[in-house]
Amino acid sequence: MGTPLTPDRLIAILKAEGVKVAEYPGWRTRERDDETGKPFGPVHMIVNHHTAGKDSLAVVAKNGVPGLPAPLAHIHLAKSGLATLCSAGRANHAGLMARNAYDSFLNEESTHPAPAKNTGTVDGNDLSYGIETENLGNGTDPYTRAQYDAWVRINAAICREYGWSEESCGCHKETSIEGKVDPLGPVEGYGTRARFAFTGKQFRADVEQRLAHPAKWSPPITLPAPLPGPAPKPQPTTEQRLTALEQRVTALEKK
């Protein structure tokens, strides 16, 4: 558990972890605390999402969607790996969590049960940071290397600040009683790993690896080998060049 971070402190820990940070205008005071009468915090976990759309920064930070006012997350993560801060207070991102799923993250258990509505519910917007990661959510749109790397860094930065383990990092599909599927989709690669499917288990393992190192650490990277280009044309030998020259001279003499 922890008191929500001040805007300046949130920026500081993200930058220390190597995250590229931008600030959406008005983010420091844009929240849902006053409108709902529910204060943000204490915080217990992080909930990770995909946007299910593109060019969604303004939607997440300011505009919202029909029936759900913004802010829709605390951080919007672009394909480039740029993290834009959208709110420092309560945000409409998590909705109702199943009690059994929430308790497993609160207690930092090593496994997390499927959300069961009959175990009761808690309001996830009160107690969790939300990260909306740019992705179509169609199962084929990939998370870029830079994006996934920043995603791991953001989660690790918050966990590091509060002294949480990677088991405080949840996915919307792991907590929601509404059958959410996010995050979903392939990842282009991470570190020495080639393309793989996003899963909460693998994501937490990557956060765990990062937390075992200082904040400034970066994983070793193996990029895919470039595709081979066309084979170079063989260069003629000296004898071949002389023969060609003689043929041209002979042809000129016959004119």
Cβ-contact 7, 138 below 8 angstroms: no
Closest CA to 213 of 191, 193, 197, 187: 191
Q: What pLDDT is recorded for position 255?
A: 59
> pTM here?
0.87
Contacts of residue 48, Cβ cutoff 8 Å, sequence gap at least 6? 131, 133, 151, 155, 169, 170, 171, 172, 182, 183, 200, 203
Q: Do residues 156 and 168 touch, judged by C-beta distance below 8 A?
A: no
pLDDT beyond 80 at 59: yes
Give mean pLDDT, residues 162-179.
98
Lowest mean pLDDT among 75-79, 87-91, 208-212, 238-242: 238-242
Arithmetic mean of pLDDT, 184-194: 97
What would the two tokens of residue 142 be? 């990939």
